[in-house]
Amino acid sequence: MQPHELITALAARRLVAIVRGEDPEAALDTVLTLARSGIDLIEVSLSGADALDVISQSRKALGPRALLGAGTVLTAQDAVLAAEAGAAYVVTPAVTEAVAASRDLGLPVLAGALTPTEVVAALRAGAAAVKLFPAGPGGVELLRALRAPFPDVPFVPVGGVDVATARDFLAAGALAVGVGGPLVGRAADGDPTGLADRASAFRALAEGAS
């Protein structure tokens, strides 16, 4: 995947589903359920149990064109392992060595940043887009404040984003939003109760914002 392809996918879907869990089999089932529900831009966090195997198995099940990425990528070695597992893009929680390493591996990066200085650092390191993280405490006003000096930067708020705040962030100019718990719930830990309904609600929101 090229950086412009990640931007195109974010602009079209408006939603990144974040899967993180302690049950690898349940996490894999969650990825596949989300994909079947029409939410196909999915990040599997490396902080989950056996996350690299979840990515690998998801890639085998969904095929080579699936929009499957690795999240919580912190180091250059994390980036290498994510690429080997089949991640098409990388998401970091901050501007770490993983940003440049992923770029050098040919993986577009959604790099975490919260301040103007961090936004500039992310872009200089080669990020394709900026993950505004954690977005919850600053809310929509933080996004608006950052977009004033950086109107052309593609921002993806993550952290504290639910259906209501997702709608507000998208209306305020976010390219997309990243959602974990409010969408996935405890499905990746073995309890899929309500996952299909939540997926339907978030998909409707994303489609309405497109």
- 84 has catalytic annotation: no
DSSP 152: T
d(CA 154, CA 168): 16
- 131 has catalytic annotation: yes
Residue 101: partners with Cβ closer than 8 Å, 6 or more residues away = 75, 76, 79, 80
Three-state DSSP at 31 gives helix
What are the DSSP calls for 180-192, one per residue? SHHHHTTGGGT--
Three-state DSSP at 33 gives helix
Residue 32: partners with Cβ closer than 8 Å, 6 or more residues away = 58, 61, 62
How far, CA to CA in Å, does 114 sit from each of 13, 26, 73, 138?
Answer: 23, 32, 17, 9
Which of 5, 25, 43, 60 is catalytic? The answer is 43
Which of 22, 25, 131, 141 is catalytic? The answer is 131
The number of beta carbons lying within 10 Å of the beta carbon of residue 77 is: 12
List the catalytic residues: 43, 131
